[in-house]
Amino acid sequence: MSENTPLRLGIAGLGTVGTGVVKIVRQQADLLSARAGRDVVITAVSARDQSRDRGVSLSGYAWETDAVALAKRDDVDVFVELIGGDTGVAKDAVEAALILGKDVVTANKALLAHHGQALAEQAENNDSVIRFEAAVAGGIPVIKSLLEGLAGNEITRVMGVMNGTCNYILTNMEKSGRGFNALFDECAELGYLEADPNLDVGGIDAGHKLSLLAAIAFGTQVDFDAVELEGIQRIELQDINHAADMGFRIKLLGVTQMTGRGLEQRMTPCLVPVDSPLGQLEGGTNMVVIEGNHVEQVVLRGPGAGMGPTASAVMGDVMDIARGIRIPTFGVPAAKLTKAAAAKAATPAPFYLRVGLKDKPGAMAKIATILGEAGISIDRMRQLGHMDDTAPVLIVTHKCMRQTLDQALEAITKIDVVATAPVALRIENL
């Protein structure tokens, strides 16, 4: 195709992000053309409700009620999928576009987390590319950084806060003194939660993102099923306050690294130092930290969601395609992506433990004995004031393996002095 030929977009999904993309293309047409060396235009769109006022003119665009039909149109070069979901019409439409050799730009983290390998193979078989900057960390160009800017590095670790809703809840628990339930309800009122809230607070949304970054960073097939997931629902205000007393903050932290046992991927609540970049992260902002053998550490911080930031990420991918930049979906040809052995919590770490004990003599000693028999040494141990005949006990362990700790915690839950199930949070070394 000639460089002077316009790049024609078909946009499926006209929610917040899709509307933002339309606004950028309409309002900045001259800037896009100058930077791409060719015009970037929208020829057709698709959404469920054609009558809704989206605050931007859709005149001049062909309208398809079926996203698959949009993907198949002859006047669409790049299919922009902003519908969401790992099955149904989003998947069908993306596959239809790839079969016809069209390029795909998507913000659909779930689709790629569950079907990334198959879609990458399909794209390469049809000389197409899939770009998905908007699927991870909103407006932060983390995928582009891994694929291009840091391509000369062997990546050793990627970690970050990748769900703004969880970060909003955790930081505001500390600031306002309100509990999880109150802030969860506030997020629902503000429209911060997914239709299925567990995607946010259960860590699933962020886990999808982590699995994609792991594939790029380590040249492996996407394996979302291997991500260790734990949400923030069990975090209480007392955990927030106790962490602060020790110089930490609690974050839903994603970490992936290649270890001697295999690929470690975990999205779990962790304690991080309050004076670290991750510890200072406030509200709905996202942050991704990338460590490489030559660059050492790169910190990327920015808005993790919203119309402008996410539409900006979509357009970054569109502009690369317009410029003729063509990179395999996960950085190397799909056939060369290895299937990594999954390693659950393969690196040892200290842990923060909270367990409610009944007011009985020798209760703390029983806990200490079980941990000691498991080979877990205690750094600090503190019993707090009684509440309703229950005494919360706080323990900070020395470094241990999570698997060993889990076995000890299972034994702890079975003794007669335990009133509430233990909460265990990793203390992350940054």
Q: The tokens of 39 are what?
A: 């015009």
Q: What is the DSSP string of 328-370?
A: -TTSS-GGG-B-PPB-TT-S-B-EEEEEEEES-TTHHHHHHHH
Place of tokens 């005949």: 389
Round to whole Å and give the CA distance between 27 and 263.
44
Closest CA to 139 of 299, 285, 302, 25: 302
Round to whole Å and give the CA distance between 284 and 251.
12
362 with 370: CB under 8 angstroms?
A: no
Decide if 344 is catalytic: no
Q: The tokens of 413 are what?
A: 């839950």
- Cα 68–chain centre separation: 27
Q: Dihedral of CA 191/192/196/201: which sign?
A: negative
User: 209, 251, 344, 399: which one is catalytic?
Assistant: 209
Counting Cβ atoms within 10 Å, is residue 231 exposed (0-12), middle (13-18) or buried (19+)?
buried
CA 327-332-336 angle, to 5 degrees, is: 145
Q: How many other CB atoms sit within 10 Å of the CB of residue 406?
A: 15
Q: The tokens of 202 are what?
A: 């259960």
Round to whole Å and give the CA distance between 266 and 92.
30
Round to whole Å and give the CA distance between 1 and 341.
42
313 with 302: CB under 8 angstroms?
A: no
Q: What is the DSSP string of 22-82?
A: HHHHHHTHHHHHHHHTS-EEEEEEE-S-SSS--SS--TTSEEES-HHHHHH-TT-SEEEE-
Q: The tokens of 266 are what?
A: 């975990």
Pairing of β 248-259 and β 262-273? antiparallel
Q: State the catalytic residues.
A: 209
